[in-house]
Amino acid sequence: MSHQAIYRKYRPKTFEDVVGQTHITDTIKHQIMRKSTAHAYLFSGIRGTGKTSMAKIFARAINCTNNKDGNPCNECESCLSILSERNMDVIEMDAASNNSVEDIRDLREKVKFMPSQSKYKVYIIDEVHMLSKGAFNALLKTLEEPPAHLLFILATTEPQKIPATILSRCQRFDLKRISVDGLMHNMRAICTDMGIEAEDEALRMIANSSEGAMRDALSILDRCLVYHSEKITYEDVINLLGTVNYRTIVNFTDALIDHDIRKVLLQIDEILSEGKEIELFIVDLITHLRNLLILNSVEDSHKFISYGEDAIELMKQQSARLNISDNIRFIEEFSETLALSKKTVNSRILLETRAIGLLSESQALPIKKNVSVAEVSTPIKPEIETTQEERPQEAHENQGELRHIKDNWDQILSAIKQEKVSLSAIIKEAHPDKIINEILTIKFPEKYTFHYNKANTKESIDVVEKVISHLLNRQIKIRFVIENTERENLTEASSQSKKTTINQKALDMFGKDKVEIID
């Protein structure tokens, strides 16, 4: 007898068996019991969350002759014929391969006939978004005036591709990602039924890796049985997925945040001892750092991170220790490392060298742990400072306003954050340097060229000017500079100032008609 995949063997038979979608199953059961079902439904959601399974349960329930609280009995002739796929009144179509106008026109001709075995003729169209424009128009004609004996159940992973005219004629239900606990509970029940022992940590790893899809979780579980048919261990799952142990990535990131070079090297050694590829680790690390950045940047971050809630909670704790600017630097550095690793002879040495260099550069920066981004203090002034002799004449420099800006710098950053979150994190690495007439100079340390480039755009400058002008109650212009270039500019300006003074003295002494100034 051929092997039957676990996800097929344990496909839900009733609405109660569908995991994590009670907001949909309860509604449909009530409609069936009250005989108030619609003529067309749309189930949308990511792969493996139960769209097709729910459609098949619906098809049996609405035709069941011994319906139990909205559920199919799975024992009557109608239910059994649908379960064995020999009921001609329940038709499944794959829109990916039956997406032409002719296919839908053929369907329209067939729906006119009454059911031969059941009360309702049910069409389940999977991946309906794959239909052509002409096919959608043909389907619309049937949905507008459907026969009383007809039920359409459409399923899709991309509802945004379905025309509004179709959507408006369907009752739409969006399936949620299944929680880690829900996935684990179902897998545990299946393992118990099969007589298989499974470590909780192994099931949790599978649940987090499946990204909320039950079918993916059961497929991984099925593949794990290749290693041991009687027990599933955490190490089995790690080896099967071919990924670096997630704990290793978290520990490596902790070492980066703590600027612990020794711990970084130990983690790299552990990765190699597990037999994993350095390039694969870097990819996973960049993805992890990206997720931390998202968590630190937007409130509804769960929409952009496709991990189980256990993993996200762990990320939240770690993201609270990492400020956005360092997070961005880490991503940029390791992205460049990944590109170079494809050309280097020894990826390990490259990763170690880049990581040590990255952390060595950051040693001088103040490290503040266990705080949110908003609480990170303004960086200390850079060591290189221009001397008074190097500065051009600043007779009109307003020290009072400059002090006022410095005293309220945290409030300024908060106000900028309200306008643009990412800009606040960038400006935080700079400090107000001087204000002359209506121009405020904000200076970045030399190594923050990335931040300088991001800040030195019209959009960013407009935001900062708006905030500071409001604070001072007068119009202020912003000028961003970097330490070393500012020094050169000031030296040049100082020379120009001295030259102008000498020229003026010559004109005063000899007269304008006697002096010719040559640049």
Same structural domain, 167 and 190: no
Find where tokens 């002739």 sit.
77
Q: How many CB atoms lie within 10 A of CB 350?
A: 18
SS3 5: coil
pLDDT at residue number 480: 92
**Does a structural domain hold residue 335?**
yes
Domain enclosing residue 127, as ranges: 6-174
Asked if pLDDT for residue 228 goes beyond 80, the answer is: no
CATH number at residue 329: 1.20.272.10
CA distance 361 to 256: 12
CA distance 140 to 202: 47
Same structural domain, 188 and 276: no
Question: Range with the lowest mean pLDDT among 208-222, 226-240, 373-387, 504-518?
Answer: 373-387
Same structural domain, 348 and 461: no
- Which of the given ranges, 47-61, 272-286, 415-429, 459-473, has the highest pLDDT on average? 47-61
Q: What is the DSSP string of 208-230?
A: HHTTT-HHHHHHHHHHHTTT-SS
**Does a structural domain hold residue 378?**
no
CA distance 13 to 16: 8
CATH number at residue 441: 3.30.300.180
**Does a structural domain hold residue 272?**
yes
Closest among 364, 363, 401, 362 to 381, alpha carbons compared: 364
Number of domains making up the chain: 4
**Does a structural domain hold residue 514?**
no
pLDDT at residue number 5: 84
**Does a structural domain hold residue 513?**
no
Same structural domain, 140 and 27: yes
CATH number at residue 103: 3.40.50.300
How confident is the model over 386-398, as a mean pLDDT?
48
Q: Judge contact between 438 and 416, C-beta under 8 A.
A: no
Same structural domain, 452 and 356: no
Same structural domain, 195 and 271: no
pLDDT higher for 113 or 384? Answer: 113
| b/e per residue 308-324 (b: at least 16 CB within 10 A) | bebbbeebeebbbbbbb
500 — phi, psi (to 5°)?
Answer: -65, -40
Q: Judge contact between 289 and 334, C-beta under 8 A.
A: yes
pTM of the model: 0.56
SS3 152: strand
Asked if pLDDT for residue 91 goes beyond 50, the answer is: yes
pLDDT in tens, 444-469: 988 888 888 888 888 889 999 999 98
Long-range contacts of 74-79 (CB under 8 A, 24+ apart): 74/13, 74/14, 78/117, 78/118
CA distance 263 to 207: 29
Of the residues 174, 202, 228, which one is the last residue of a structural domain? Answer: 174
pLDDT at residue number 442: 93
Q: Judge contact between 481 and 493, C-beta under 8 A.
A: no
Same structural domain, 323 and 463: no
| Whole-number average pLDDT of the chain | 81
Same structural domain, 189 and 153: no
Same structural domain, 116 and 19: yes
Of the residues 174, 208, 232, which one is the last residue of a structural domain? Answer: 174
106 — phi, psi (to 5°)?
Answer: -65, -40
pLDDT higher for 208 or 347? Answer: 347
Same structural domain, 218 and 170: no
Tell me the residue type at 110.
K
pLDDT at residue number 519: 52
Asked if pLDDT for residue 187 goes beyond 90, the answer is: yes
Contacts of 392 (CB under 8 A, 6+ apart): 490, 493, 494, 496, 497
Of the residues 213, 241, 269, which one is the last residue of a structural domain? Answer: 241
pLDDT at residue number 155: 94
Closest among 260, 264, 202 to 231, alpha carbons compared: 202
Structure token digits, residue 315: 């990320």
**Does a structural domain hold residue 30?**
yes
pLDDT in tens, 329-386: 899 889 988 888 878 888 889 899 888 888 876 553 333 333 333 333 333 333 334 4
Same structural domain, 354 and 452: no
Asked if pLDDT for residue 414 goes beyond 50, the answer is: yes
CATH number at residue 197: 1.10.8.60
pLDDT at residue number 498: 52
Same structural domain, 99 and 23: yes
How confident is the model over 9-35, as a mean pLDDT?
92
* CA distances (Å), origin 359, targets 33, 56, 87, 384: 65, 56, 66, 21
**Does a structural domain hold residue 43?**
yes
**Does a structural domain hold residue 457?**
yes
Asked if pLDDT for residue 427 goes beyond 60, the answer is: yes
